[in-house]
Structure formats: C-alpha cells, structure tokens
Structure 1
Amino acid sequence: MKLLVLSNGHGEDRVAVRIIKQLQTVTNKLELVALPIVGKGYAYTKANIAIAGRVQQMPSGGFIYQGGTPLWQDVRGGLIQLTLEQIKLVRQWGKGDGVILAVGDIVPLLYAWLSKANYAFVGTAKSEYYLRDETGWLAKTSRIERKMGSVYLPWERWLMSREACKGVFPRDSLTTEILGQWSIPAYDLGNPMMDDLTSEMELADSKCLDILLLAGSRMPEALRNWQQLLIAASKTIDDLQSRSLEFLGAIAPALDLKPFIELAIEQEWQITGAKADICTLTKKNTTLILSQSNYSQFLQQGDIAIAMAGTATEEFVGLGKPAIIMPGEGPQFNYAFAEAQSRLLGCSIVMVESPELVGKAIAQVINNPEQLQQITLNGKRRMGESGAAFRIAQCLQNRLLKE
C-alpha cells in the first residue's frame, strides 16, 4: 500500500513522524512519502523519510491566516506557485492506488479531500477546550461559536464526514465526544504529542529548581522571544534569591544556535563551556544550558517552564507541569495566541503581561501544593497518556491501509 503523509508545521511534522514509525512496526507492506506543506520538513529528513515534492520556507512560518503583512510576504515569496504545485502533486497521487494521512488543520485535510483518494485525519490544531471544558461553555466563548456547535467549523466537519475519510483522530477525549454528534468516524486514541515523554515532577525545597525556556521554532520570531525569555530569567533570579536555579534553553535543531548565545552574552551571561550544539553559561551563580539535542530530556527535567511556543508548551503541560507564558510580537506567539493557549491548557498555564512579572508568578505557583496537584491532573487529562501513535497506527492499518 502507498501512503502520502501531509502536514503543515514543525510540530505537526514531528507528530506525523511518530505515527509513521509506529506504522512501520505494524506493517511491512507500506511505501510512504511525506509532503510538508509548511517549511522544509526537517523532522522527516532527520527520520530518513522521503519528501514527495518541492519544499520552501515561507517568511510567515505558516501563519498566513492572520492576513496582512505575513500573507503578502508569503505571496511575494512564492506561496501561490508552491500551493499550486502541492495541489497538483496531491491530485496526481489520487489517480493512483495510494491513500493519504493528513496531520494538522484544515489545509492538509482539504488537500486530502481534493486528491479523491481515501484519507484519514489527525487533528492537532483544534480542541474543544478552546471553547468549553467538562462542565460546559467557557465564559469567553461567543454566541456565534456556541451556535456553530464545535471548535471544528461546519465545513471542516463536512470534510471529516466524507465517505473517503476513513478515520479522524482528535487530540483529546472531549473533542472526540463532541465530533461524535455528527457522522464522523472519530476515534479517541490519545495525542501523539505525548509519546516517548514521561514525567518526574518533584519540587522539593532542597532541590535545584529547573526552569525550562521555550522560544519557539520559527525565525526570526524565536530570537525575539528569546530576548524576552532572557529578561524573564534575569528577573526570576532576582525574585527567587532564596532558591537554587538552573535554566534549560531548548533550542529547535533547525535553528542557528549562535545568535541565541550572542543575545545571552549581551545580557551578561558568560560562557563556561561549549560543544557543537550545547553551550553552558553562568550569571549570578546561576547556570543556563542551551541545547539543540536534549529536548526530551529538558522537558522531563524541567520543573516549570517560561514558554513562548506552541507544541512544546503543550507537551510540557501534558507531563503535568506548569508553564508561565507571555505574549510576544508574533506572528505566532502574540496576545491572541497566548490567550487561546490559556484556554486550551486551562489551569496549567499562568499568563503574564510582561517578562518582569514572570519571577513572582513562578514563586506563587511553586509555593502552592494544591495548585500543583491540580495542574498535574489537568495536564494529563487535556493532553493524554503516551502510546497514541501506536494506537493510531493500528487503527489506520485496519481502516485506511486495507488492500
């Protein structure tokens, strides 16, 4: 069986790779290629998965839905031509005997439907938690949103309910339950974001407090975010003088580490050790470790995060840990995104207006055992347990890959 995997973002690519690896364990009769709609598909390349067509990094990093300048920059950068090439490739795929797995949002889902091939959809971008929780609608949910009935809009539900759609895999149980109100083959199998991640949450007074810094994966935004995170780190050192602190900077592998180090040096951090993709710095008897190869380890080691990222923040919260977030300039992590992330992740998130407020927010969270317990339960409920990629792969084998 031939499978084309579509995804539209760095986090979505990583989710797709996890599912692909599990598919390769449940069937040995699979020929597959991937098409990253946004970016260059670094996660696929790293996993030695063939890329089907031309890839190109757009100026907006994939956030053209905001319109205005990001959209115009992408149009000037060749977005229209790239999109036409991608649609042509997908339609050509549909003329054969292959099937499609779409990972992300409506864009790969629409491409899959346009192919006229059978397809399945892993919905990573949307959750009912944006609009409601287990007790009902959130206060901020508008009358129009309530009238729509779901975070997935009618046209998205239409694409998921087509006969060619053999399976839909929402990111949480609540979303699966709501989609079950329509003729959609939705399966509650968990969230692949949490695969291969385990938590060792402990905030003992005698323990060094490990603070994870998450700047995002798209340039130049990640560097602007990093500047704010460094300010927050310095303020936290001043506000938590009674605690031993260590900062862990998880920098995306596709980025250049050098400018992140340079910005730290500008803010009076001094290099004490450096290798190819790891740099250790110190300031006021506090250590800052920057690494491009210890992402999973840092997620597990961190006690609390200062975060300006999408998928990485969700994964950290899914381990039952708290995150302090603050809005940046965008195009991704602006105020609207941060506010939406607060709704998605509930009490696990504390949003502050500026980096100067981060230290006090951390102190309040780590000194509240009841809040930490609630955060632990909330994160695991909203993000699920590990093993979802394997469960999804088994379902895909039965529903999509039958010859």
Structure 2
Amino acid sequence: MTPSPLLFISNGTAEDLIGARLAGLLDHKIRYSPLVGEGLPYAKLGNANRVGRVLSLPSGGFPFGSLENLKADLGTGLIGNSIGQWSDATRGARGAGAVVVVGDAYALMVGTVAARLNKRPLIHVQPLLSAQYLDGLGVRGALRELNALGANLPMPYELRLARGADAVFVRDAATQRYYQQRGVPARFTGSFAMDVLPAPERELDLSENRPVLALLPGSREDHRESLPVMLRAAALLPEVTPLVAWPHDWEAVTLPQGWTLNIQNDAEALAVGDGAGIPLLRGAFGAVARAADLAIGTSGTANEQLAGLGIPVIAFATRGPQYTEGFARRQGRLLGAALQVVEGNPAALAAQVRAVLDDRSRRGQAALAGLTRIGLAGALPLIAAEIERLAENKKNT
C-alpha cells in the first residue's frame, strides 16, 4: 500500500533546509507549505509539491528584527497573504499521514490548526529557540530585546501548543530540560544544524601552509554590507588564506570601492583589491567549513555550524535584515566563547583574527564551547523514524 503523503510546514531558509533534509529520509510523497519564501530545498527532492502561495518578504523572514523590516513586510501584503497561508496549509493536511512543523511558534500555530482540523498527527521540530539564549540575559537585557522576546524563550502560548503535539524535538539538551520542566515532553536527539552541514563538495587548493579564514556573509541581504568589510579585513591579513563561502549569484556580489571581481567560472571568482586576491567559492560551503581554522561570519546557521565544528567565529553587526546588534547579542549568548562580536570595521576584525590565532588557550575554549553548545549530528534519522511511527499508527486507527 502506498504511504500517505506528509505535509511539511516551515518558515525560513534554515528551516526549509532542515525540513527538506528530513523529508528526504522518508518514504512518502511530500507536500510542503513554506511560510517564508519559495521553499527551494523541498523542490529539489523530486517527490514534493508545494501547497499554496509564496510569500516573499523584504525582511527575509525577520519582520520583527527592526521597525524598518516590519514596515517593508506590511507594505508587501504580509497580513493578507499570511492569512491565506493558513487555509493553504489546512487544505494540504487533508489525507496526509502527519503534519510536520519545522519552525517557530507562528509555524506551530499554522500546523496545529491544519493538523487538528484534519485529525492528523502533529510533529514539531523547533530549531530556533534555545534555553542558552537566556544565559546572562537578565531583566535589562530582556527589556532591550523586547522585539525578540519570543525568540529568546518560548511564550506560554507556544508551550501550550507544544503540549498538544504528538512529538516535539528541540535543538539542545538545555532546551530539552527547559521544556520538560514546563510540561512539554520534548526530546533532544542531536543537532539539526550539524545534520544539514554538507559534506565537502570538492577539493580546495590549499597548497600554502597558512591558516584558513572562512568568510561567511550569509544568505540574507546582510551580505551587501558585510562582504565588503570582510574583504577589506582579509586584505589586511597576508598571513592567512581567506575563502568566501558565497551562496548567491555573481551578480549579487558587492565589492569595496576600487575592487574588481574576476569571474573564473560558475563556481569560482576572485575579488581583487588592496593588494589582495580573495577567492569566492559557490557550492563549496561544506568544503570551506571543514578547511577553516577561523571564521568571520554574519550568518545565523553557518556561524553555528562552524562553531559546532570547533572553529572560533568572529562576528559583527549589520543594519540587517538578520544580523542586527540584537541578533548578534543573542547568538553570542547561544555560542558563548565560540563567538566573539567586535566592531564592524576591517582593522578591528583583522586585529581580532590575529588575537585568536596567537592564543591557543582561547582557541581551545572556543572549540569546547562550540562543540558542547551546538552538539553532534544525528537528530534527523531519529525524528524520521518517529514520523513514520506516528503516520503508521494513524493509518491503522
């Protein structure tokens, strides 16, 4: 008998990636409802069909990252299209074996309605919240980050919704304890971020015996501000081999004034300026991540993945939409000694790179913090087995 299709609901770039990787482990046809963007990782599966409309937001899915983000998203029809997505997801859950939510409290609300109206099992994969965001936050810190309150800790309504799910999976052991103390039987089975870290895609030319500095401008529009700063910082560091893990088309590259981009092929280009030539590599994030000795990043998941590999990460805030001052502070609490946030100018970044490379003890502390706070891979196969079990039980009832 053909297994029933499964509905995946996710709301963000990393969430789509995790959801698609999880869906690929399941022997089911997949329906997917991406609440932000097009859900491109699902489309690559071959057995997946999108349910409902596409909502492309200027903020990239961070409407509450700043007032400017919210205004821009509202101007593109955020409210009307979001309401429409609820009915899309509910329709997509009809006849599904289970509803799988990969995302935050909002995605869980949509998934809860879709699952309950269709009497389907509900699985929540929460890759965003971490109890470690509360480390050293305090009352003053919480007041300063009121716009991110629901991102720092689960709100009472999210815990109530999670108690109604058939299975809940969280990103680390500290969060499992936090949820369980509040009556949610959540499980930590491994790191989602490390599960979706790709294997090295190709061999890199690293013949020169110098530390490798990974530059991670990220998949959000922050790269237009952060990449030029990273390039100028790397040009001040002739003692390292800088490599940019570039996730966009070459047309999206923003260079410092006076620099040029020499495109060699679809996978590699060279940014030239200030006496330096710095490679930009497309489709090579896994290779760059594993070659790195140190990283400069303005990325969410990529920064966490490098930290999870034991690699120290240096970060600086941008004007957004994602890697704002508040986001940088939050990621600093999450990663502890694995992340150092400094002033966003080339000289400060170069000085920090040298300070980390010259201090073996500091590198050791960063590695330990990243490995313990992010955790090991292995979550998604266990979650896939639980989804199969719940879907099969529903079919037999």
1:3 is displaced (CA, Å) by 1.1
State the distance in 1 between where 2:225 and 2:311 align.
Answer: 25
Instruction: For residue 16 of structure 1, report the CA deviation from its aligned partner.
Output: 1.0
Q: Give the % identical residues.
A: 27
Counting matched residue pairs gives 371
**1:379 maps to which of 370, 374, 389:** 370
Specify the SS of the correspondent of 1:40: coil
Q: Match of 1:289, as an amino acid?
A: P
Give the one of 310, 331, 342 matched to 1:320. 310
Instruction: Write the letter of the residue equivalent to 2:23.
Output: I
Decide which of 207, 210, 221 is 1:208's aligned counterpart: 210
1:118 is displaced (CA, Å) by 2.4
Give the superposition deviation at 1:101: 0.7
Show CA shifts across 1:310-329 (max 9, x none). Answer: 11111111111011101111
Task: Report 1:79-90 matches (<5 A).
Answer: 79-90=78-89
* Cα distance, 1:95 vs structure 2: 4.7
2:246 equivalent in structure 1: 251
Q: Which amino acid aligns with 2:89?
A: V
- Superposition pairs of residues 94-133 of structure 1, within 5 angstroms: 94-115=93-114, 116=116, 117-132=120-135
Q: Deviations over 1:92-136 (max 9, x none)?
A: 23454542111121111111111113211111111011113xxxx
**Equivalent residue for 2:146?**
none
TM-score w.r.t. the length of structure 2 is: 0.86
User: Is the 1:6–1:108 Cα contact (8 Å) retained in structure 2?
Assistant: yes
Over 3 Å counting, the alpha-carbon distance change for 1:106 and 1:383 in structure 2 is same
- Could you tell me how far 1:258 is from its partner in structure 2? 2.3
Cα contact 2:5–2:97 (8 A) shared by 1: yes
Structure 1 residue runs of 5 or longer lacking an equivalent are 133-137, 201-205
TM-score where L is the length of structure 1: 0.85
Q: Give 2:192's aligned residue.
A: 192
Supply the distance in 2 between the matched residues of 1:40 and 1:155 (Cα, whole angstroms).
28
Deviation at 1:152, TM superposition (A): 1.5
Contact 2:31 2:92 in 1 (8 A): no
Matching residue within 274, 277, 282 for 1:292: 282
Q: In structure 2, what is the equivalent of residue 171 of structure 1?
A: 171
List alignment gaps of at least 5 residues for structure 2.
144-149, 201-207
Residues 198 and 300 of structure 1 are in contact (CA less than 8 Å); yes or no, is this contact kept in structure 2?
A: no
- Give CA deviations for 1:124-152 in whole Å, capped at 9, x if unaligned: 111011113xxxxx2x3228969x9x821
**Residue 305, structure 1, aligned to residue 295, structure 2:** yes
Asked if the contact 1:104/1:122 (under 8 Å) is kept, the reply is: yes
Q: 2:388, 2:184 → 1: CA distance? A: 18
Whether 1:232 aligns to 2:230 is no
Q: Does 1:354 align with 2:347?
A: no
Q: Choose which of 352, 372, 384 in structure 2 pairs with 1:393.
A: 384
Distance 1:67 1:345 in 2: 23
Q: Answer yes or no: is the 8 Å Cα contact 1:216–1:222 preserved in 2.
A: yes
Q: What CA distance in whole angstroms lies between the structure 1 residues aligned with 2:199 and 2:293?
A: 10
Cα deviations by residue, 1:374-399 (Å, 9 ceiling, x for unpaired): 22222111111122211221222224
- Cα gap change, 1:258 to 1:5, in 2 (>3 Å): same
Q: Say whether residues 1:330 and 2:331 are aligned partners.
A: no
Tell me the CA shift for residue 292 of structure 1.
Answer: 2.0
CA-CA distance at 1:269 after TM superposition: 5.2
What's the offset of the Cα at 1:57? Answer: 1.6
Higher deviation after alignment, 345-354 or 51-60: 51-60
Q: Is the 8 A contact 2:97 2:392 kept in 1?
A: no
- Is this contact kept in 2: 1:13–1:43, CA < 8 A? yes
Secondary structure (helix, strand or coil) at the match of 1:33 reads strand
Q: Superposition RMSD on alpha carbons, in Å?
A: 2.5
Local SS of the residue matching 1:263: coil
* Structure 1 partner of 2:205: none
Counterpart contact for 1:199–1:319, Cα < 8 Å: no
Match of 1:12 in 2: 15
Name the aligned partner's letter for residue 37 of structure 1.
Answer: L
